[in-house]
A and B are shown apart, each in its own frame.
Chain A
Amino acid sequence: MAIEYLGLSEVNGPLVVLEGIKNAAYEEIVDFRMDDNTRKIGRIIEIYEDKAVIQVFEGTENMSLSNTHTRLTGHPMEADLSPDILGRTFNGIGQPIDGLGDIQPEMRVNINGLPLNPVSREYPRNYINTGISAIDGLTTLIRGQKLPIFSGNGLPHDKLAAQIVQQASLGKDSQEEFAIVFAAMGVKYDVAEFFRRTFEESGVSDHVVMYLNLANDPVVERLITPRMALTAAEYLAFEKGMHILVILTDITSFCEAMREVSSSKGEIPSRKGYPGYLYSELATLYERAGIVSGGNGSVTQIPILTMPNDDITHPIPDLTGYITEGQIVLDRTMFGQGIYPPINVLPSLSRLMKDGIGEGYTREDHQDLANQLFSCYAKVGDARALASVIGEDELSPLDKEYLRFGKVFEQEYVGQGETENRDVIETLEKGWELLRLLPKEELDRIDTKLLDKYYHSDINEVN
Chain B
Amino acid sequence: MSRTESIYGINGPVIYLKGKTDFKMSEMVYVGKERLVGEVIGLTKGRTTIQVYEETTGLKPGDSVTATGDAVSVMLGPGIIHNIFDGIQRPLEEIAKESGKYISRGVNVDSLDAEKKWNVTLTVSEGDYLHPGSIFAHVPETKSIVHKSMIPPGLSGTVKDLVPNGAYTVNDRILTLEDDEGGLHEIKLAQKWPIRIPRPTANRYPAHVPLVTGQRILDTLFPIAKGGTAAIPGGFGTGKTMTQHQVAKWSDADIVIYIGCGERGNEMTEVLEDFSKLVDPKSGNLMMERTTLIANTSNMPVAAREASIYTGITLAEYYRDMGYDVAIMADSTSRWAEALRELSGRLEEMPAEEGFPAYLASKLSAFYERAGQVQNLNGTEGSVSIIGAVSPQGGDFSEPVTQNTKRFVRCFWGLDKALAYARHFPAINWNNSYSEYTEDLAPWFRENVSPQFLADRTQIVALLNQETSLMEIVKLIGSDVLPDDQKLTLEIARVIRLGFLQQNAFHAEDTCVPMKKQFEMMEIILYLNEKCKDLIAQGMPMSVLKEDNIFEKIIAIKYDVANNELEKFEEYRQAIDRFYEQVLAKNG
What residues make up the interface of A, taking CB atoms closer than 8 Å to B?
A: 23-28, 46-50, 76, 110, 112-124, 144, 238, 267-271, 275-277, 279-280, 283-284, 286-288, 290, 292, 295, 312-315, 318, 321-323, 325-327, 346-347, 349, 351-352, 354-355, 367, 370-371, 374-375, 378-379, 382, 385-386, 389-390, 394-396, 399, 441, 444-445, 447-448
Contacts and interface: CB of A to CB of B under 8 A. Distances in A.
Contacts of B62: 23
Contacts of B12: 277
A280 B393 contact: no
Interface stretch (B89-97, B160-168, B362-370): B89-97
B560 to A, nearest CB: 8
B189 interface: no
A371 B422 CA distance: 8
Contacts of A113: 102
Contact of A395 (B58, B235, B478): B478
A283 B559 contact: no
Given A321-B237, A367-B506, A112 B9 contact: no
- For the complex of A and B, list the 8 residue pairs with the smallest distance between their C-beta atoms, beginning with the closest: A313-B394, A270-B355, A283-B298, A378-B422, A321-B236, A114-B102, A48-B9, A287-B299
Nearest to A397: B480
A202 B12 CA distance: 43
B391 interface: yes
Contacts of B474: 386
B506 A115 contact: no
Contact of A374 (B298, B354, B422): B422
Contacts, number: 219
A323 B264 contact: yes
A347 B93 contact: no
* Most chain B CB atoms below 10 A, which of A271, A286, A367, A444: A444
Contacts of A447: 559
Contact of A280 (B269, B342, B356, B424): B342
Nearest to B10: A26
B9 A115 contact: no
A290 B270 CA distance: 12
Interface of B: 8-12, 16, 18, 55-62, 84, 92-93, 95-96, 99-105, 235-237, 260, 262, 264-266, 268-270, 272-273, 295, 297-300, 302, 335, 338, 341-342, 344-345, 348, 351, 354-356, 391, 393-396, 417-418, 421-424, 474-480, 498, 506, 549, 552, 555-556, 559
Nearest to A344: B421
A48 B105 CA distance: 22
A24 B549 CA distance: 77
Given A24-B60, A280-B302, A378-B421, A49 B297 contact: no
Contacts of A448: 556, 559
Nearest to A282: B298
A119 B93 contact: yes
A385 B477 CA distance: 11
A261 to B, nearest CB: 13
Given A118-B295, A118-B297, A279-B262, 14 more contacts: A25-B57, A114-B105, A115-B299, A119-B84, A119-B92, A119-B269, A119-B272, A120-B100, A284-B299, A288-B299, A325-B264, A347-B421, A448-B556, A448-B559
B345 A267 contact: yes
A26 B59 contact: yes
B234 to A, nearest CB: 11
A292 B477 contact: no
Contact of A269 (B103, B355, B418): B355
Given A118-B272, A123-B270, A26 B56 contact: yes
Nearest to A373: B423
B269 A277 contact: no
Nearest to A122: B269
Contacts of A279: 262, 298, 335, 338
Contact of A25 (B59, B295, B355, B356): B59
A268 B60 contact: no
A115 B102 contact: yes
A379 to B, nearest CB: 7
A212 to B, nearest CB: 25
B53 to A, nearest CB: 12
B96 A119 contact: yes
B478 A396 contact: yes
Nearest to B60: A25
